[in-house]
Chain A
């Protein structure tokens, strides 16, 4: 890759050269959703890029102010729709911090297990979609095959393939079904070999390497300045993972490596995700080995439905409490919390201000894709248009999360 910093300007009075304004999107396969890019082109080079977002804006934050805390879970599903369990977990943790409670240990293992499954499912899409943007279809089709296995596992757990909404404040909705365990063990056996397949398919593919190595390099300092997080920042050599550095749930009991690389180019970002999937499989296996028996939901009738449903059928007080909880939700003490987790795309934070009522006064989502997409400004100046597609793909924005 030759560094293009200064364009050779044509003769002053050459009649046929001028900048072209190109509109890419909002419906374009390589923009990964409804993203519109207004590009100023100088020949093949991108002189300036202006992303226009908001086509998917649903006003999640405004809506949340009129919902009870339990009703917000389905809204969080629809942020990064490739990995809803992570979003659920981030929101549940924020509310639990405000309430000063913790989910039972078994529930924490279930949540972490699901979040890691979601991480694999999110990464699978991007490690297939980036090569597809660059012309290699096969990887995506293989990745979709493995994603289907994860979808089936999610369906087994929650009944829903994508929008699981399985987390609750103080635990999860149900216990894991018995038939889930052999299936997930099978997945953990099969999947590492499949990761090897993707690598073999692409790591010696000259076209893929030429189009990703040395392209869209972001230095560590630039990455921090631009607010990148997650695999995008780790690919630039910043060794930061919230799972390890500010452990939440039971991550401090698990052994895993934080994958970081130094190159900071598109290939490093792709590579980081591939290797992170291996670590996720390790985490899932440890979760299965360590998962204790016990309740999956906190025993606190003012916050969670009783684990034993018979109580509702036999006791008047329990029935009233159940009705109250369904109809009005639970009250959360006055206060503020900012709680961040390591979502597949980076730091996913929920900032909640509670005024003591059953609905949040203000809920702000710190969406990693929103911030990562902004980095497109920083890296694509004076590059080929085709390189910009590679950079966009490797930054892995999910437009539903960008637009909230």
Chain B
């Protein structure tokens, strides 16, 4: 395990220098933190480097650390089919959360990113079709955020919901997706 870790670490450090922070190895996964503007470059590097070949994108998910700052995180899980290694890449995001899309690197990122947008309102810039995926069009708010009540907001269809109107977030309304 340690040989793997040091190989991945050295290769990343050679290419990106100090910008990428190492978060250690635990439960079979190497973890790294990366600034949002470098995510596409790092993913492409990990996918295409002949010694690493992290060619399989397992998962992308959003995390909300409310009330801590920076509040949001996009977490990527990569798998290398030839080497059988796993890597986790974390991207800490401010509010409103924005991160470049990796749909250009893996087509499978499309729905994962739509889910993270739908549930957390993380805007993936450059995504070809960033619409809600689970919730219906016209739904307000992002249900998996920590400040969204578990039972939703009260309205005529949801008599057991929490009082108060959903917070309006004009800058994140679905209409002005680039």
Contact = CB atoms under 8 A, between A and B. Distances in A.
Are A and B associated in one complex?
yes
Interface of A: 53-54, 57, 59, 61-63, 66, 97-98, 224-227, 238, 240, 245-246, 335-340, 347, 349, 351, 353, 362, 364, 366, 370-371, 374, 377-378, 403-404
Contacts of B98: none
B127 to A, nearest CB: 14
Contacts of B59: 338, 349, 351, 364, 366
B27 A339 contact: yes
Contacts of A66: 150
B135 to A, nearest CB: 7
A336 B63 CA distance: 12
B135 A54 contact: yes
A227 B108 contact: yes
From B28, B59, B81, B119, name the one whose CB has the most chain A CB atoms within 10 angstroms: B59
B151 to A, nearest CB: 10
A236 to B, nearest CB: 12
B58 A340 contact: yes
Shortest Cβ-Cβ A-B pairs, 5 listed: A227-B108, A54-B134, A364-B61, A366-B59, A57-B134
Chain B interface category by residue count: 35 or more
Nearest to A238: B81
B84 interface: yes
Contact of A62 (B63, B77, B81, B150): B150
Contacts of B115: 370
B86 interface: yes
Contacts of B108: 225-227, 371, 374
From B55, B64, B111, B132, name the one whose CB has the most chain A CB atoms within 10 angstroms: B111
A366 B116 CA distance: 12
B56 interface: yes
Interface string B101-114: 00000111011100
A174 to B, nearest CB: 28
B92 interface: no
B133 A240 contact: no
Contact of A227 (B28, B56, B144): B56
A58 to B, nearest CB: 10
A374 B61 CA distance: 16
A241 to B, nearest CB: 11
B111 A370 contact: yes
B40 interface: no
B29 interface: yes
Given A61-B144, A62-B144, A349-B58, A226 B107 contact: yes
A338 B27 CA distance: 8
A404 B144 CA distance: 13
A66 B150 CA distance: 8
Given A224-B81, A351-B75, A371-B108, A338 B133 contact: no
A246 B112 CA distance: 24
Interface in B47-76: 55-59, 61, 63-64, 75
B88 interface: yes
B148 to A, nearest CB: 8
Interface in B116-160: 119, 132-136, 143-144, 150
B107 A347 contact: no
A371 B111 contact: yes
A336 B133 contact: no
A307 to B, nearest CB: 27
Contact of A378 (B61, B81, B107, B135): B107
Contacts of B55: 224
A337 B57 CA distance: 17
A378 B57 CA distance: 16
Nearest to A240: B81
A353 B63 CA distance: 9
B174 to A, nearest CB: 15
Nearest to A66: B150
A224 B56 contact: yes
B81 A97 contact: no
A366 B58 contact: yes
A351 B31 CA distance: 13
Given A246-B84, A362-B63, A338 B143 contact: no
B6 interface: no
Contacts of B133: 53-54
Contacts of A246: 28, 84
Contacts of A347: 58
Contacts of A370: 111, 115
A226 B31 CA distance: 23
A145 B111 CA distance: 36
A339 B88 CA distance: 12
Contact of B106 (A227, A403, A404): A227
B26 interface: yes
A336 B106 contact: no
Contacts of B58: 227, 338, 340, 347, 349, 366
From A59, A225, A238, A364, name the one whose CB has the most chain B CB atoms within 10 angstroms: A364
